[in-house]
Structure formats: C-alpha cells, structure tokens
Structure 1
Amino acid sequence: MIVRTLQEAEKTSRKIVSPDGNWDSTRMLLKDDNMGFSFHITTIYAGADFQMHYQNHLESVYCMSGEGEVETLADGVKYPIKPGTLYILDKHDKHVLRATKEMKMACVFNPPLNGKEVHNAEGAYELDAESI
C-alpha cells in the first residue's frame, strides 16, 4: 500500500513549479509507483492563459476549486470550468487553459509521468523526462 499526504509531498521534489509561472503541480503518484497512471494536484494561478498539446499523454482533469475555461483549438469551443467540472483530453486535444480565479485541479495522466516534466515548446510533456 502507498500512502502519501499532499502537505508532505508539497515539501519534496514532487512539487514542480512551471518555468512560465502559470502553475505548480504536486505529483502524488508517478511512473515508479507502478500503477499505470500518474495522479497530480495542480494549481493553475489566477490570470494564467496558456496553450497545451499533450501529444504523448491522455489526461483527465477535475476542478476542485476556482474558475476558468478550457478552449479546444480544433473547433474554438470554450468550456467553463468550475468546481465539479471534469474535462478529458481523450484525443490529444490541443487546448488553451485560462484561470479567472486560481484553480485547484486533480489530474490523471496515462502513460504516467516520471515527475520532472514541464511543458515543451509545443505544450506537451516528453515521454523520456528525467525520473525523480
């Protein structure tokens, strides 16, 4: 059994802060845990507005607090995000995430992340990022 607390994980190298200042992510469950997916608690800072395109991963995102929107770039549709909203990037969707109020999100990635990933120039995570 694996047991971790968010408060303890935030004090370790499991907490990653984006170089662009848009978010931080505490990686609670990673590839080395051998569960087949990774689980993160991510904070999207108020005013953040950035593009992502997870070409190598599928992601599900559940909003626990805050407000914003996600826009799919293929069709320009904007979806409001508020507590209780789940969005699922099941087609490697190129998207823009905007936070009008700081958002706390629970995120699941498949395949699992190693732990050190930050977005590359295309807004994706590399598959071979250095392990924690």
Structure 2
Amino acid sequence: MIVRYLEDRQGTEYDVRTPNWNSRRLLLKEDGVGFSLHDTLIKAGTETMIWYKHHIEAVYCIDGEGEIELFETRQKFPIRAGMMYVLNDHEKHWLRGKTDMRMVCVFNPPCTGREVHDEEGAYEAAL
C-alpha cells in the first residue's frame, strides 16, 4: 500500500514548477502502479500549448475556471470545478487559466516525475 500526503510533496523535487503551472507528482512510474497521478495548479491568465503525443491524460478540475481549445478544430470547452476531460486521441490543445485552477491529472504511461513540456508541448516518450 502506498500512502502519501500532498504537503509532503510540496517544495520538493516532486513539485515541478514552470511559469504557467506547477505539478505536485503524487504517483510516478517508480511506484509501479501503471499510471501517474498529479495535483496540478494552472495559473490565472496563462496559456499553454500541450500535445501529449506519448501519453493519455485524464484531467478532473476541482477548482477554478479556464478553457481547453483543440488545436486542429478550434473547438473550445469551458473548464470549471466538476469538469473532466480525457485526451484519448493525443489531441494537441491550448490550456488557458481564466482563474487559478486546481486539476487532478492521471497519465498513462506513467510519468517519471521531472517532465516539462518540450517545444512541441509534449513530454518525452516513456522508456
């Protein structure tokens, strides 16, 4: 059994920060459960281009407001507390924070813990 508390991950190497977001990595590849689990904060007024071409991501918003816009179709979806989306076809998208947002994110294959988006908006392929 694995038990972790968010406050034990904050401010450590498991708290990955960029100018637009910070992701507190709760479960990782090294844990051997087949997925990773992240508690992510998206900053108000930010826009991030993302393309998880090597991962499937499920996202559940638990606080705040924003929007996701699909790159190919320009279709927009409002994000608010209680909204869930899954990038099951590796959709390239823009993620915008209208307010600060708190998201719970699940990745398959699991992340190693140090990933940040590359110039294409992707994480490296899992090895």
CA deviation map 1:90-117 (0-9, x unaligned): 0000000001100000000000000000
Distance 1:15 1:64 in 2: 19
1:128 deviates by 5.1
Distance 1:17 1:50 in 2: 13
Structure 2: tracts of 5 or more residues without a match: none
Aligned to 2:27: 29
For residue 109 of structure 1, the aligned residue among 83, 107, 121 is: 107
TM (norm. structure 2) is 0.97
Pairing 1:31-110 to 2, within 5 Å after superposition: 31-110=29-108
- Structure 1-normalised TM-score? 0.94
d(CA) in 2 for partners of 1:116 and 1:49? 21
Measured on the aligned residues, the alpha-carbon RMSD in Å equals: 1.0
**Partners of 2:16 and 2:42 in 1: CA distance:** 12
What one-letter code is carried by the residue in structure 2 that aligns with 1:41? Answer: D
